[in-house]
Amino acid sequence: MSDADTGFLRTLPKAELHLHLEGTLEPELMFQLAERNGLELPYSDVDALRSAYEFGNLQDFLDLYYQGAGVLQTEQDFYDLTWAYLERCAADGVVHVEPFFDPQTHTARSIPMSTQFKGITRALSDGQEKLGISSRLILCFLRHLSEEDAFTTLQQAMPWRKHLVAVGLDSGEKGNPPEKFQRVFDEVHRLGLGIVAHAGEEGPAEYIWQALNLLKVQRVDHGVRCVEDPALVQKLIDDQIPLTVCPLSNTRLKVFDDMAEHNIMQLLEQGMCVTINSDDPAYFGGYLLQNYIAVRDALGMNEAQAIQLARNSISASFLSEDEKAPHLQALDRLS
């Protein structure tokens, strides 16, 4: 039995570091935006759409996720999406967020970069002002597309450079290793932006090595397959490279058959800087608090471990040390 009750988990000051804004598109909002934009969805109603959320693997999910994102057309759509997510964060006790967005999903449909940035950043700014939630935005390249396309995307984002803290790499991992994007991440580095990448979700431990050594990532998104290489596990511990782990996502996408088999608590106990995140909560059945609850219920996470996971999320963020301090002090008071 665990001693971390839900109220306690809610009051923990937590940061969310692995969250795709397009993955917060709830079926209700998807239908609302489709109607507002005069689009037809290939589902009769919200229930029919939700019942399609059965995924055998990452690609099954991505096919639906990219299709769903097609309803996002106007600045207000991006605002509404982001604002709805921030309201969920407020309810879950999330104090800081570093969301991802996938601009190529939208520019490919002729939705300008400016439309995306304006809607998202206006909501993030309201989130700070009205909800007290701080944020830093991360642009992700889609790894199933070419490196040339990523270069074009980076160029298009330059007028919005000051709104970005980092650039990431997502989408289908298998067959799209980090090395495919080494040159564009060299450029990201030259621009002084942070770097993160999905690696070791479905892909092998070798992709995590590449993310570290070739892309020079500051955090690894997912990374749970690191356990297949003991030397890699040791490196992640020694260098305290944060892993942004997404428990509900991993079970819904069959990275682990069952939450009871998830390795997050083993990684934590080995001394790795692991964090809990929700990835694509509208598709995987829960926002950040729900992920903490799922880990508690299946893996017996206790209060001290929950505090450590929350502490890791603040430490691993792109906030300055001064900005982290009040959250870390609040966590110390709970210890």
Ligand X SMILES: Nc1ncnc2[nH]cnc12
Q: Which does 201 bind (CB under 5 to 8 A by kind): Zn ion, ligand X, none?
A: ligand X
Residue 297 labelled as part of a binding site: no
Which amino acid, one-letter code, is at 291? N
- Nearest distance in Å: CB 222, Zn ion: 7
Residues 6+ apart with CB under 8 A from 316: 15, 17, 219, 242, 244, 273, 275
Q: Does 201 participate in binding ligand X (rule CB under 6 A)?
A: yes
Q: Does 24 participate in binding ligand X (rule CB under 6 A)?
A: no
What beta strand segments (E) does the chain contain? 14-16, 94-97, 100-101, 134-135, 137-142, 164-170, 194-199, 219-222, 243-245, 274-276
Q: Does 280 participate in binding ligand X (rule CB under 6 A)?
A: yes
Q: Does 98 participate in binding ligand X (rule CB under 6 A)?
A: no
What's the rounded Cα separation, in Å, for the pair 173 and 245? 16
Q: Does 20 participate in binding ligand X (rule CB under 6 A)?
A: yes
**Active-site position among 201, 202, 321, 323:** 201
Residues 6+ apart with CB under 8 A from 63: none
Q: Is residue 98 annotated as a catalytic residue, yes or no?
A: no
| Beta-sheet pairing, 137-142 with 100-101 | parallel
Distances (CA, A) of 150 to 139, 155, 177, 180, 200: 11, 9, 14, 11, 21
- Nearest distance in Å: CB 202, ligand X: 8
Among 24, 249, 263, 315, binds ligand X (CB under 6 A): 249
Q: Does 58 participate in binding ligand X (rule CB under 6 A)?
A: yes
**Beta carbon nearer to Zn ion, 22 or 279:** 279
| Beta-sheet pairing, 94-97 with 134-135 | parallel
> Applying CB under 5 A, which residues contact Zn ion?
279
| Beta-sheet pairing, 14-16 with 94-97 | parallel
Rg for the chain (alpha carbons), in Å?
19
Residue 198 labelled as part of a binding site: yes
**Beta carbon nearer to Zn ion, 77 or 279:** 279
Q: Does 92 participate in binding ligand X (rule CB under 6 A)?
A: no
144-173: contacts with ligand X (CB under 6 A): 170-171
Q: Which does 26 bind (CB under 5 to 8 A by kind): Zn ion, ligand X, none?
A: none
Q: Does 279 participate in binding ligand X (rule CB under 6 A)?
A: yes
The kind and range of the H/E element at 206 are helix 205-213
CB 32 within 8 A of CB 50: no
What's the rounded Cα separation, in Å, for the pair 16 and 268? 17
Q: Which does 92 bind (CB under 5 to 8 A by kind): Zn ion, ligand X, none?
A: none
Q: Which does 171 bind (CB under 5 to 8 A by kind): Zn ion, ligand X, none?
A: ligand X
**Beta carbon nearer to Zn ion, 98 or 279:** 279
**Beta carbon nearer to ligand X, 4 or 274:** 274
Q: The tokens 């889609």 sit on which residue?
A: 142
Which residues lie near ligand X (CB under 6 A)?
20, 23, 58, 65, 170-171, 198, 201, 249, 279-280
Active site positions, annotated = 201
Please enumerate, by residue number, every residue annotated as part of a binding site for substrate: 280
